[in-house]
Amino acid sequence: MPVLSCVSDLPPFDFKDLAPNPFLNNFTYEYETSEPGNLKIWLISLSDRNNAELIAEETDLQPGVYQQTKSTVALQSGVYALVAQFNGGIYSINLVKS
């Protein structure tokens, strides 16, 4: 009898959407997890790498699609990276504040 196995091609974490980009006073980001785990997300200025802000931290996050909005009124104009650490992996996406 043949053995069937199911292998998922989904990465453990994926930034699904980021809007608007460029942004002014806030942006909304959406991400998906395909397995349970722990998540931290930072917003890092690429012009001043010492300027990093932890904007999300979740423990025991379950698989699913999540959406959050970040206010950026106090940020300087420039290029930023949204960086996620999920179950030991690092994922990032760049964004611009006008």
Q: What is the pLDDT of residues 13-66, one digit of tens each?
A: 999 999 999 999 999 999 999 999 999 999 999 988 778 899 999 999 999 999
Query: What DSSP string runs through the chain?
Result: -PPP-------SEEEEEEESSSBSSEEEEEEEESS-EEEEEEEEESS-TT-EEEEEEEEEEPSEEEEEEEE-TTSPSEEEEEEEEETTEEEEEEEEE-
Instruction: Count other C-beta atoms under 10 Å from residue 29's C-beta.
Output: 23
Task: State the pTM of this model.
Answer: 0.86
Alpha carbons within 13 A on the beta-carbon side of 19: 4
Q: What is the pLDDT of residues 71-96, one digit of tens each?
A: 999 999 999 999 999 999 999 999 99
Using alpha carbons, select from 33, 17, 22, 10 the residue that is nearest to residue 87: 33
